[in-house]
Amino acid sequence: MRVKNVLKWALKLKSLFCCFVLFVFIQLHSQDLVHKQLNPVYSQSIYFTQSFQKFDNFSMLNWLVKRNKIIFDVSFGVGVNRTFYQKRFFPQAQIGFGYSVFSFRNCELSPEFNVGFSSFSSIERHYFSSFKVGYFFQFGRKFLLIHRLNGGLLNERFINSLDKITSANTIDWQFSLGIGYAFN
């Protein structure tokens, strides 16, 4: 019975993720249609962050696209402690969606919604998925200083020694600092 519930939850998670990606695509496309007659503000930046999270510290490479006030962020990284010291590869992928509410000179503050996926293998394979809400702050024009603070829900799944899927939910957090470069 418990395995069926976890599998249903995993199916709902995949559906929610697909809806989120579709929503972001529609928002970015609608920004282009609405502001086509105006001068659209479009910028891309790449940055490196050190992200402190509940289970590990992640070194992340991020790509950020900003169109008018909509912000879309994709991040890939590895957990430093588990990957380099414990010799267990611990990758993480994140997708963030934000909306710039405060922009003054070189500062920008945006609330954001963040979805993350990670996995590592010990005796059994562990899968982590997280949904976090928080803010994203950047300072600078060409060279950027980045700060992110998020909190939310983390789900961990793994197959136990009885070949049953075990799932646990807990509170998750993320604190990131980084530097970046804006292309335009």
End-to-end CA distance of the chain: 53
Q: Is residue 66 a contact partner of residue 88, using CB atoms and an 8 Å limit?
A: no
Q: Is residue 179 very low, low, confident or very high in pLDDT (cuts 50, 70, 90)?
A: very high
Q: How far apart (Å, rounded) are the C-alpha atoms in residues 123 and 121?
A: 6
Question: What stretch of H or E contains 164?
Answer: none
Q: Which of 92, 133, 135 is nearest to 114 (CA)?
A: 133
Which tens digits make up the pLDDT trace of 41-57?
778 999 999 999 888 89
CATH of the domain at 40: 2.40.160.20
Q: Are strands 102-104 and 107-121 parallel, antiparallel or unpaired?
A: antiparallel
Which pLDDT score, from 0 to 100, does residue 1 have? Answer: 45
Which tens digits make up the pLDDT trace of 121-153?
777 788 899 999 999 999 988 899 999 999 999
Q: Domain count for the chain, please give it.
A: 1
Which pLDDT score, from 0 to 100, does residue 117 have? Answer: 92
- pTM of this structure: 0.71
Enclosing domain of residue 126: 2-182
